[in-house]
Structure 1
């Protein structure tokens, strides 16, 4: 089984997801957008499987810093552009389990994935 957790290390939700995986002795690789980067191909794969609206984190400070005009003219192309420029705008974590992607973290959701 191949497991990759995507995100940024100082995010509280990432910390919870990592803790869950470690406590359940699930081996995973951590992909830090800031250190390891984010390619357009990776983002395309996320958006293709999950949809751009699910991948875009509208509750974060980075998104809220966009102008009203930027938010009103939001579409897949502009959202992807913003996420590539600021990976903090990607909802966290994205969990890749054998090429099946899951977004966000809830303990019961992870319980279901790894049962």
Structure 2
């Protein structure tokens, strides 16, 4: 089974995760033949290692990690590759790959630009 693992930073405030949970739910509905999980780098659970273990127990032997970061900073360039290297050792035979940071894709930058423009130019009551 193929898996898609959404990887986000994490935060202390549980409400911070709601948009990411909504993304995961929408993906599960759109791709029922894939296992879709959400994992966090820090401060929230599950972490990446636990999420991969869960996916393996569900029969996933091919997992694509999608970093839900606006840009490829240190977490995407250093932390994520190190975690993936550890997972390749603890899960031999697992095909594990990653995509670019989602915020660096044209479809996302275009969507954010349009949303920001809409928010900035919508009618607002006078102060």
Fold agreement, TM-score > 0.5 = no
Instruction: Point out the structure with max Rg over C-alpha.
Output: 2
Q: What TM-score, normalized to structure 1?
A: 0.31
